[in-house]
Amino acid sequence: MAPSAIEITHPLDITSSDTSKIGVPPGLRLAAPEALDLRSDDEIAAWLQKRHAITSDRNIWAFWHSGYSRMPPWTQRNIINWVRKLGPRWTVHLLDRVSGSETNVGNFVDSSFFPDTFNSNTMDGPSVGQHSGDLVRLPLLWLYGGIWIDVGTFLFRHVEDICWKLIEDPESPYEMAGFAMEMRPGVEIMTNGFIATKRGNTAIRRWHEIFKSLWNGVTNCHGFHQNPLLKHLPLLSPPFSRLNMAGLNIPMEIFTDYLSQCMCFERLRRLVDPSDGFNGPEYYSNKLLLYSGLQETYYFQQATEWSGTKQFDLLTMKRTGEGVVRDEKWHAAEIFVNDALANTSTMKLSHGPPGALDCFLADMWDSEELQGKDCEEGTFGEYLRYGSVHFDQMRQMTPIKIG
C-alpha cells in the first residue's frame, strides 16, 4: 500500500523531537523493570490460554468468542502487552466460547445470566462477536470485580493510575469508572469498552438485567431502539464537527442499536427504584468516575479525522534504519506516536458498526496481506507498542463531571 499524504488536524501537546537521541519523549519516564512481566511473548500467550484462580478484584477481563489462537495477531499482541505492563499484581483473563476450553465463559458464569439466543448459539447479524462480548462483560464484573477492556485496545497507562487506586480507596466515593463520549449534542454517555468496578456492584447487576431483557425472543440487535425499555430515549446523534469526523455512513437507528448496551446505561442513570432506594441520577453524579473518552481512548481518532488509512500510514512510517528521511511525514508520525504515549491512557480500535466509516484500522490489520504491519521492525508502530509497556505517563488525569 503506497503511503498517502498525512495531515494531523488536531492540535497536539508534544513538539517534534528526535526520540532516538533523547531516549524518552517529553511527559514520560521509563517504567521500573521490576514492575513489569518480562516473560516472552510465547510464554505469556501459553499462560493466557490457561484458566487462572480468581484471588482478588484485580482482574482484567476480555473476550474473543473463538479463543486466543483464532484472534487477529495484532489483538493478541495487545493482550500480551497488557500482561507485561500490569505485572504480577493483576491477572488478565481472556475468555472464549470454545467447547472444552479451560477459558470458556461457561466455566466462570452460569448460563442463567445469558439470554436463550446466547446459550443456544443462535445469535445472528453482522455484530455477533461484539454483542456476545457485551453480554459477557457485566456478569464477570458483577461476580468477580475488576476491569473489562475490549481486545482492540492499546493500554498506555497502568490501570491503577487510571482509576483503580480511587476505586479501592475507602475514602473515595467512586464505585465504578469508565470513559464518556458526547453522543448527542451536549450529552456525554458512558461507553462500555473500559469498565472498572469491584465485585457485587448492584448498578452493574441492574445494567446487565436491562440489557439482557432486550434479547428476549430475538437473535440480533435490530430495532432495539424501539424496545419499550429504550424507546423513550432519543437516538444517538454525535456532534460530528466537534469530534473532527465527517459523519457516519449508517442511519442513527442502526448506530443506536449497535450501542444498545450504552443506551441501557442511559436508562439506568435515570432510574429511581423506590423498592430498594436505588437512585440512578445520584449514583451517576457521585459514585461514577468518568474521564473524557475523546481524550482517553479516541484521541488518536480525532487527530486523524477517524481515518484508518491515515492511522495506518502514520504507524507504518519507518522511524529508524537505513534510508530513513526525517521529512514532514516522519515528524508527523513522531508527533502522533509521542502524543498518544504521553497524553491518552488507551487507544481503542473497533470494527464497527460495520460500514459506519470508510475505513477502520482494525479491519486493515485483520487482513491477511497486512498481518504484522502493526509492529513491523523499525516503524513507529513498533515503537508505539514498545512505549506502551516501557514508558509511564507523568500527567495528571482530570475527571469530568456530568449532571
Mean per-residue pLDDT over the chain, rounded:
92
Tell me, rounded to whole angstroms, the distance of Cα 346 from its chain centroid.
Answer: 7
SS3 state of residue 62: strand
In-domain check, residue 146: yes
Q: Which three cell numbers stand for residue 61?
A: 477481563
pLDDT of residue 10: 38
Say if residues 94 and 64 touch (Cβ distance below 8 Å).
Answer: yes
Burial of 356 (0-12, 13-18, 19+ CB in 10 A): middle
CA-angle at 160, arms to 390 and 192, nearest 5°: 100
The predicted model scores a pTM of: 0.93
196 in a domain, yes or no? yes
pLDDT score for 332: 95
Q: Residue 387 falls within a domain, yes or no?
A: yes
DSSP, res 113: G
Q: Tens digit of pLDDT for each residue in 40-85?
A: 999 999 999 999 999 999 999 999 999 999 999 999 999 999 999 9
Average pLDDT for 152-159: 98
Q: Amino acid letter at 376?
A: E
**Tens of pLDDT, residues 324-355:** 999 999 999 999 999 999 999 999 998 878 77
How far apart CA 328 and CA 295 sit, in angstroms, is: 25
Specify the number of domains making up the chain: 1
In a domain, 47, yes or no: yes
Reported as a single tens digit per residue, the pLDDT across 293-309 is 999 999 999 999 989 99
pLDDT band at 403 (very low <50, low <70, confident <90, very high): low
Instruction: Residue 83: give the domain boundaries.
Output: 21-393
Which range, of 129-138, 210-219, 246-255, 260-269, averages the lowest pLDDT?
246-255
Cα 195 to Cα 209: distance, rounded to the nearest angstrom:
16
**213 belongs to a structural domain:** yes
Does the residue 73 lie in any domain?
Answer: yes
pLDDT at residue number 40: 97
Averaged pLDDT for residues 273-294: 93
Pairing of strands 346-348, 153-155: antiparallel
365 is a domain residue? yes
**Length of the chain counted residue by residue:** 403
Q: Average pLDDT, stretch 177-181?
A: 97
Write the burial class of residue 295 (CB in 10 Å: 0-12 exposed, 13-18 middle, 19+ buried). middle
The band of 11, judged by pLDDT with boundaries at 50, 70 and 90, is: very low
Query: Quick check: is 398 in a domain?
Result: no
